[in-house]
Amino acid sequence: MNLGLGGMSASRGQADEEFFGSAYDQKVILRLLPYIKPFMPLVIASFVSMLIYTFTLVAVPWLIQWGIDNPIRDGLQTATDYKASASQAGEETNLTQLKELLSPHIKILNILFVVFIINAFTNWGTNYLQQYAMQRVGQGVLYRLRRALFGHVQKQSLSYFDKTEVGRLMSRVQGDVGQLQEFAALVVMSLGELLSLVGIVIALLVMDLELGLITMAVLPVLMTIMVIWQKYAKRSFSEIRTRIAIVNAAFNENISGVRVVQSLNRQQRNLEIFDEKNIAHRWSNVIAGRYAAGLLPAVDILTAVAIGLALYFGSKLVGLEEGQLLPGVLVAFVMYVQRFFDPIRNLTQQYTQLQRSMASGARIFDLMDREPELIDIEDAIDMPEIKGNIEFKNVRFKYVEGEDVLKGINLTMNAGETVAVVGPTGAGKTSIVSILSRFYPVKREEGAILIDGIDIRDVKRASVVSQMSMVLQEPYLFSGTVMENIKYNHVHVTDAKAISSAKVVGAHEFIMQLEGGYDTFLSERGANISLGQRQLISFARAIVDDPKILILDEATASIDSHTELVIQTALRKLLEGRTAIVIAHRLSTIRGADKIVVLESGEVAEEGNHQELMDKDGLYAHLYNMNFQSIEDL
């Protein structure tokens, strides 16, 4: 069932995560302990009931042996003796007399029956208890682990998300935690198997040391076969996983891109390529099928050999005299031998799973060890209500060591001003707003950003950012209703307020035309409405809670001019009393700003209003003219 779910991500990523480590990793286990600790009583309960359960299981052949060798044999002996003496005396067998003679043996048999039934009930109860308790523990641990992992990931800065593919993160929180889920089930099962194996070995040796050892002579042979088998089978099984991941990745990509595929007429060719991958997967399964099936004859034959040994040598040891074996022991031996091989087989097959779980565990804790970059300093206070004065003091910033993106930015924005940031691609426009919103940390020695004179690193991040709001170039919505999307994390906002926000940005009209109005469910990333409509909703989302600072990062690139105008008109009203930072490449958006900041390769090249900058005839004037050339040369 788990086949290839990890393969949803690209096949290349899959391949390098498929490594095999040890089946027991002390570090992983130690790290898991704190998560298990709260469930200690359940763990102990489970373990104790497992012990009792194993005991009741191993007791069954023993009880049968005891029954055969004591009451049943005695009864049979009594009956045979009685019949023999009766026929010698030439009398008819007197049934009542025989019954009377047998009654003490029957009584013992009845007692055995009662013990048997008590054993069965104990088995029932402990079996249920051990499974249930272990699952409760397992689920509890996984639940806490997922929560901790998700919370931890939230504390990472954006640079982490820039570097890390979503598929990889998904496979951490889902795939790897899922592997630990398997691990939980496995531990229960393996522990059970191991206990019953130990139980059977003890039972065999206690019943008869010599015969027990002889019977177990096949064990080394089986172990050897298993080790060799394991080596080849493991390779073959991991090959299947790689292959199915490739098949699924191809399927996923070609179907996600089906619009391009059809437009470029690639169906036939793609089917051929897909078929090749599909055949390779089938073939690796056929090979693995041979390995899987190959173990069966070995186990069947070895079982027979062990039973043969038990019968052959057992028959020599059997007798009624002191120190000799009773016949029932042979029955018990055959039963034990038949149960002997299952635990061994299961244990070897679970080895691979153990390795995989450990590797997953190691990856999870690697992630947990990552220092969260966006934590507030210890004595951080809440940001008071923002007035909107922003100051960049000699701020330097880089994403990658050695490649400075911002090289000493000094900038003042006054409360209530609309500031436009322009410049060529790569000048650092988006970086400025990203560090203002603390998407990325700025080191203390690399300048400071102050809002209303307070260094934003000295207050709680959430308390600053929640008073700001941003509209991004690519509108990003969450699956949920339109209403939920507009309110987003401002759950305290009333519906009326949300609707009025939508009206302000001109989204109300189209929302009302949707089938469910504000209750229309937007599927994954709002794919069921157009790009421009998504952007309108994200505008409404940005203003729904009256942000003190509003940032528009190329926000109107995907909206047509008419809608843009509607928004801008609305924003003019909205922006009153708020500080706004606007990044745009459409110059009509920029011209009306109170201040225009022109960036060039990470430095402020020019600053001033439209007229001042045009008069200056510098970079801004150049950009401005270039953008308009195409239309004005008509």
Partner 1 sequence: MQHILRIIKIALRYKYRLAFAYLSTIGAIAAYIFLPKLFGQAIDSVAEPILAGGKVETEILYPCILIILGLSVIRGGMSYFQTYLAETLSQYVSYDLRNSFYDHVQHQSFAFHDRHHTGNLMSRAITDVENIRMFINMGLVRAPYFIALFLIVAAILISMNWKLGLLSASFMPIVAIYTSSVRLKMRALWLLVQQKMAELSIILQENFSGQRVVKAFASEHHEEDKFEVKNSEVSNIYVEAEKLRASSMSFMLFTFMVAMALIIWYGGRQVMNGTMTPGELAAFVFYLQILALPVRMAGWVVNAYARAASAGERMFEILDAPSPVEERSNAVELENPQGHVKFENVSFAYDGGKPVLRNINLEAKPGEIVALVGPPGSGKSTIANLLPRFYDVSAGVIKVDGIDLREFTLQSLRKNIGMVQQEVFLFTTTLKENIKYGKENASDEQMENASSIAQLSDFIEGLEEGYDTYVGERGSTLSGGQRQRMSIARAILLDPPILILDDSTSSVDANTEDKIKAAMDNSMEGRTTFIIANRLSTVHRADKIVVLKDGRIIEEGSHDELLEKGGIYNEIYELQLRPQDELSSEVSK
Residue numbers 376-405 binding partner 1 by CB under 8 A:
none
DSSP of 33-60, one letter per residue? HHHHGGGHHHHHHHHHHHHHHHHHHHHH
Which of 258/512 has CB closer to partner 1? Answer: 258
| Contacts to partner 1 from residues 38-77, by CB under 8 A | 56, 60, 63-64, 67-68, 71-73, 75-77
Alpha-carbon span 3 to 182, nearest angstrom: 13
Among 298, 344, 448, 605, binds partner 1 (CB under 8 A): 298
Q: Is 345 in the site for partner 1 (CB under 8 A)?
A: no
Find the binding residues for partner 1 in span 402-431 (CB under 8 A). 424-425
The enclosing H or E element of 132 equals helix 95-154
**Residue selected from 41, 289, 384, 516 as contacting partner 1 according to rule CB under 8 A:** 289
Taking the C-alpha atoms of residue 183 and residue 511, their distance in angstroms, rounded to an integer, is: 48
Residues whose CB falls within 8 Å of the CB of residue 193, separated by 6 or more in sequence, listed in order: 342, 343, 346, 347
**Tokens at residue 513, please?**
């035309």
Contacts to partner 1 from residues 149-178, by CB under 8 A? 150-151, 153-155, 158, 161, 165-167, 169-170, 173-174
Contact stretch for partner 1 (CB under 8 A) within 194-202, 220-228, 242-250, 359-367: 242-250
Collapse the DSSP code of 394 into the 3-class scheme (helix H, G, I; strand E, B; otherwise coil) and give the result.
strand
| Length reported for the chain | 634
To the nearest whole angstrom, how small is the minimum distance from the Cβ of residue 20 to partner 1? 24
148 binds partner 1 (CB under 8 A): no
Q: Please name the amino acid found at residue 288.
A: A
Cβ 551 to partner 1, closest distance in Å?
8
Residue environment code for 358-386, b if the CB has 16+ CB neighbours within 10 A, otherwise e: bbbbbbbbebeeeeeebeeeeeeeebeeb
**Residue 448: strand, helix, or coil:** strand
Cα distances from 88 to residues 79, 80, 84, 95, 96, in angstroms, run: 14, 12, 6, 16, 19
Is residue 276 part of the contact set for partner 1 (CB under 8 A)?
no
For position 488 contacting partner 1 by CB under 8 A, the verdict is yes
Residues 71-110 that bind partner 1 (CB under 8 A): 71-73, 75-80, 83, 102, 105-106, 109-110
**Shortest distance, position 118 Cβ to partner 1, whole Å:** 10
Query: Toward partner 1, which CB reaches closer, 71 or 447?
Result: 71
Report in angstroms how near the CB of residue 500 gets to partner 1 at its nearest: 18
Side-chain half-sphere CA neighbours of 45 within 13 A = 16
One of 530, 612, 615, 617 touching partner 1 (CB under 8 A)? 530
Stretch that binds partner 1, among 18-26, 37-45, 216-224, 530-538 (CB under 8 A): 530-538
Q: Segment contacting partner 1 (CB under 8 A): 221-229, 301-309, 361-369, 398-406? A: 301-309
Cβ 27 to partner 1 shortest distance, Å: 25
Instruction: Report the alpha-carbon distance of residue 590 to residue 609 in Å, rounded.
Output: 10
Q: Could you tell me which stretch among 189-197, 208-216, 226-234, 311-319 binds partner 1 (CB under 8 A)?
A: 311-319
Shortest spacing between CB 394 and partner 1, in angstroms: 24
Q: Is 251 in the site for partner 1 (CB under 8 A)?
A: yes
Beta pairing, strands 468-471 & 549-553: parallel
Nearer to partner 1, 353 or 533 (CB): 533
Q: Alpha-carbon torsion 49, 51, 53, 56, what sign?
A: negative
Stretch that binds partner 1, among 16-24, 138-146, 361-369, 407-415 (CB under 8 A): 138-146
Backbone torsions φ then ψ of 411, nearest 5 degrees: -155, 140
588 binds partner 1 (CB under 8 A): yes
Amino acid at 4: G
* Alpha-carbon span 243 to 241, nearest angstrom: 5
Contact between 100 and 368 (Cβ < 8 Å) = no
Pick the closer one to partner 1 by CB: 445 or 631: 631
Nearer to partner 1, 25 or 172 (CB): 172
Paired tokens of 133? 């308790």
Name every residue whose Cβ is closer than 8 Å to that of residue 177 and which is 6 or more positions away in sequence: 142, 145, 146, 149, 360, 364
Q: How far apart are CA 580 and CA 305, in angstroms?
A: 85
Q: Considering only residues 311, 375, 381, 512, which one is a binding residue for partner 1 as defined by CB under 8 A?
A: 311
